Amino acid sequence: MFTLNDKNKLYPRGFIFSDEKMERLPNFYKQVKILDKYYYSYDQDVNYNVLTYNNDFIIIHGIYVHVAHDFQYTSEGLLKYLLESFKRDYDKFLETLDFIAGRYSIIIGDQTNVYVYPDAAHTRTTYFSTNRDVISSHVYLIRDQFNNEREKYIKELPNLTNGLLRTPFKEIKSIIPNHMLNIRTKKLSRFYPRKENRYKNTPEERKFQMIDRILEEQLKFMFNNYDNVVTSLTGGGDSRFILAILKNYLSKTEFFTYATKSVPDNSSYEARILTLDLVIVQQLLENINLNHKFMFYKEDKLEIEENVKNLITKNTIGPHSQFLVQQILKHFPVDNLLHIRGNLLEIGQSRLYRNEYRESTVEEVKIEFLKKYSTSKNEDAKEFTEKSFDDFIDEINFGNNTYDFHLLDLYYWEIRGGRWYSELINTHDIVFETLSPFSHRALIEISLSFPYEKRKEEYMYTEMINKKFPILNFVGDNNPLNYYEQNRNEKYK
């Protein structure tokens, strides 16, 4: 039996911030007072990044690194610059946020107001109470302190409990990417985009130079700060891209692929997809020497212990691939483990209108939203779902001041990715930290600056692979046939 060690715990890497002292905290949390008014409580294994000056303060909770096109701030220099620019030149403050990568929440303010800014993709989940001045990394960490009523239709609409700004509780809401929260007023306001895409007229080669620098500096940071680095390898393009940028770090990285069995499994849709991953990864391994492990979770059944289930239930409101926790404990029983993921690449790929162009309208967004979240046959629940969307549009003025950014791209970034993906990360927090190199706002903006025809063909990603590790473009992307075989079959069909 594989068990959790002492560092795997409730609300790992988390925090809670309030003007009230919290009494029901995990015993490994440390609580400090800010400006003799606010209480910041946090997992003491997380870096303590706080700066106060006169009556102003800033906290960056989590993992972060500043990477601009031609310079970088140190961790301490970044805190100082952000605090100064927030008061004196707000535009410079916001521009600097666009170049901070990582998984973090920024809390900044004074004796009167406090504001919260999420990382580029909201990978460090941040929730807030609608009737108290409190924010936290975890919904249940707030619920532990106060008696919050459960949301209506929670059984009929399980997806909606992690959609829009909603949570399972009526008086707790979520922040989303590109929006900042005023803790006192509870108002969410868009701070990005602030103008048309700044890279749309940049020469293509320059774009690739900037992409390369942003990614490389992040990798340097990751490998300098983590003793053990792993990444998942599948048959899709996201993990292929991550493998390409890791080419110079292969000896320092361990790769893993999970599937149901070591042989083809057609017992379910999920099993068939994972079988495809298995076949394609085996082709990759025939051509590239990697430190790699397969995990077959139906053949190697590892029971998820009750205490692990309880941790996951409290740590996330959107659990995903829970079986992976015990597999990781077995295959990577080490401390200071980092998982590099590539999911956020999808933001730049016109994901929701790739097959056929769709207009950039709130109506098109609503169609996509209802397709995903209006799953109940209960007519009252369906009506509740639609009203939730309309209220959300009104509350944050979604669709206004978005310049030349397509609303379906922003919806995929802010709602689909900004809620689902971040809770997926929370699921596995008890065994490793997770970072995505694409949680960097300027990098996402560059990916969105390519023409639609190139974005829907994933040109930026395959071109980067061609520049970094070209053989990876030969193996099929979610296709067991390599590209020669695909072209041959098309030519001679």
- The tens digit of pLDDT for each residue in 261-273 reads 999 999 999 999 9
In angstroms, what CA-CA distances link 75 with 43, 72, 101?
Answer: 19, 9, 12
The CATH label, of 3.40.50.720, 1.10.4030.10, 3.40.50.300, 3.40.50.620, for the domain at 204-346+420-491 is 3.40.50.620
Residue 3 pLDDT class (50, 70, 90 cuts): very low
pLDDT at 488 over 80: no
Which of helix, strand or coil describes residue 259? Answer: strand
Measured between alpha carbons, how far is 470 from 349 in angstroms, rounded to an integer?
Answer: 20
Mean pLDDT of 40-56: 91
pLDDT higher than threshold 80 for residue 490: no
3-state secondary structure of 65: strand
Burial 71-89 (b: 16+ CB within 10 A, else e): eebeeeebbebbbebbeee
Q: Could you give the C-alpha distances from 73 to 7, 101, 117, 444, in angstroms and in order?
A: 31, 12, 18, 20
126 in Cβ contact with 175 (< 8 Å): yes
Q: How far apart are the first and last CA of the chain?
A: 53
Facing residues of 63 across strands? Answer: 103
pLDDT at 4: 53
Q: Where in the chain is the domain with CATH 3.60.20.10?
A: 15-190
Q: What is the pLDDT of residues 316-365, one digit of tens each?
A: 998 888 999 999 999 999 988 999 998 888 999 999 999 999 999 999 99
Mean pLDDT rounded to a whole number for the chain: 92
pLDDT of residue 1: 34
Is pLDDT at 307 greater than 50 in this prediction?
Answer: yes
Asked if residue 90 lies in contact with residue 96, where contact means CB atoms within 8 angstroms, the answer is no
- Provide CATH 3.40.50.620 ranges for the chain: 204-346+420-491
* 133-169 tens-digit pLDDT: 999 999 999 999 998 889 887 788 888 889 999 999 9
Task: Give the pLDDT score at 8.
Answer: 62
Mean pLDDT of all residues in 374-400: 92
**By 3-state DSSP, what share of the chain in percent is helix, strand and coil, each rounded to 5?**
40, 20, 40
pLDDT tens digits, one per residue of 163-216: 999 999 999 999 999 999 999 999 999 999 999 999 999 999 999 999 999 999
- Name the class of domain 15-190: alpha beta
Q: What percent of the chain shows pLDDT beyond 90? A: 80
* Structure-token pair, residue 483: 């590209």
